[in-house]
């Protein structure tokens, strides 16, 4: 099967969406499918306001559509709600091509954190983007229920898994843990405002708190929580 994946999040970005898509693309190729990835580095782009690690690509719907047509895609998946996928959506709609979408990120809440506006301001855009898709892929039941409450009912469960090549009970503990007071409490992910890492660091559970990751909130959290690792 030939699958065209359009995404505003791709390498060299480091985040959960890129990690998920990269893993999925690798598995699909291992299973014999052909995958075309259409991503920001192929086009002129600008850094996202307040988040320069993310590049916003600008191009025409016809340009994206030409790639999909030349690839002779059997299926089109739009992974994100950014400008590149908006152009792909426009081409699909104009050419009566069905497509699927995914809801990876709580965008209304994320944008509310960064703009100080209510999340309700952003939900009309989310509904507009996803309502024309054949299916919206979601990873949890809570997200499925949330989208249904926003009148997006065509949601499908997209399960996740654990890469047993990298994670498993036989893996040795990092040597840094030997010096830490137990129990060790761990956060792994982007260090950014929308992750609400403060709630983790403010908890009064005994033991040690470890944060693994990087992001725009790292310096501020290091200064505010000097006892965290």
Task: Give CA–CA dist 151/182, Å, rounded.
Answer: 45
Q: In this model, does residue 210 exceed pLDDT 80?
A: yes
Cβ atoms 175, 200 nearer than 8 A: no
Give, in words, the CATH class of 2-157: alpha beta
Residues 6 or more apart in contact with residue 47 via CB below 8 angstroms: 53, 54, 55, 56
pLDDT tens-digit readout, 22-77: 999 999 999 999 999 999 999 999 988 767 778 899 999 999 999 999 999 999 99
Residue written as tokens 């993310």?
A: 54
> 160: pLDDT confidence band, cut at 50, 70 and 90?
confident
Could you give phi then psi for residue 51, rounded to 5 degrees? Answer: -145, 65
Q: What is the mean pLDDT of the chain?
A: 93
Cβ atoms 209, 197 nearer than 8 A: no
pLDDT tens-digit readout, 82-131: 999 999 999 999 999 999 999 998 888 888 887 889 999 999 999 999 99
pLDDT on residue 112: 85
pLDDT on residue 187: 96
Residue written as tokens 């709580």?
A: 106
Q: In this model, does residue 204 exceed pLDDT 80?
A: yes
Angle at 148 between CA 147 and CA 151, to 5 degrees: 95
pLDDT on residue 94: 98
Cα distances (Å, whole numbers) of residue 216 to 67, 103, 177, 199: 34, 23, 25, 17
Helix (H, G, I), strand (E, B) or coil at 145: helix
> 18: pLDDT confidence band, cut at 50, 70 and 90?
very high
Cβ atoms 137, 103 nearer than 8 A: yes
pLDDT on residue 169: 85
- Classify residue 100 by its DSSP letter: E
Angle between helical axes of 83-94 and 61-71 (0-180°, round to 10): 70
Mean pLDDT for the stretch of residues 147-159: 95
> For the chain, what are the domain ranges?
2-157, 175-224
């Amino acid at each position: 099967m030939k699958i065209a994946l359009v995404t505003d999040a791709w390498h060299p970005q480091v985040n959960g969406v890129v990690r998920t898509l990269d893993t999925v693309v690798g598995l699909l190729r291992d299973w014999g499918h052909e995958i075309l990835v259409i991503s920001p580095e192929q086009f002129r782009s600008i850094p996202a306001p307040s988040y320069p690690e993310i590049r916003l690509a600008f191009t025409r719907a016809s340009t994206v559509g030409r790639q999909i047509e030349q690839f002779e895609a059997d299926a089109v998946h739009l992974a994100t709600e950014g400008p590149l996928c908006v152009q792909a959506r426009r081409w699909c709609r104009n050419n009566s091509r069905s497509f699927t979408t995914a809801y990876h990120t709580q965008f209304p809440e994320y944008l509310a954190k960064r703009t100080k506006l209510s999340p309700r301001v952003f939900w009309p855009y989310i509904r507009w983007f996803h309502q024309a898709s054949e299916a919206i892929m979601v990873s949890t039941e809570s997200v499925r229920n949330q989208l249904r409450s926003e009148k997006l009912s065509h949601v499908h469960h997209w399960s996740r898994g654990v890469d047993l090549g990298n994670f498993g009970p036989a893996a040795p503990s990092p040597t840094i843990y030997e010096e830490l007071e137990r129990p060790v409490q761990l956060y792994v992910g982007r260090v950014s405002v929308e992750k609400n890492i403060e709630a983790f660091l403010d908890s009064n559970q005994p033991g040690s708190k470890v944060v693994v990751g990087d992001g725009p909130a790292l310096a501020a959290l290091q200064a505010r929580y000097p006892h965290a690792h």
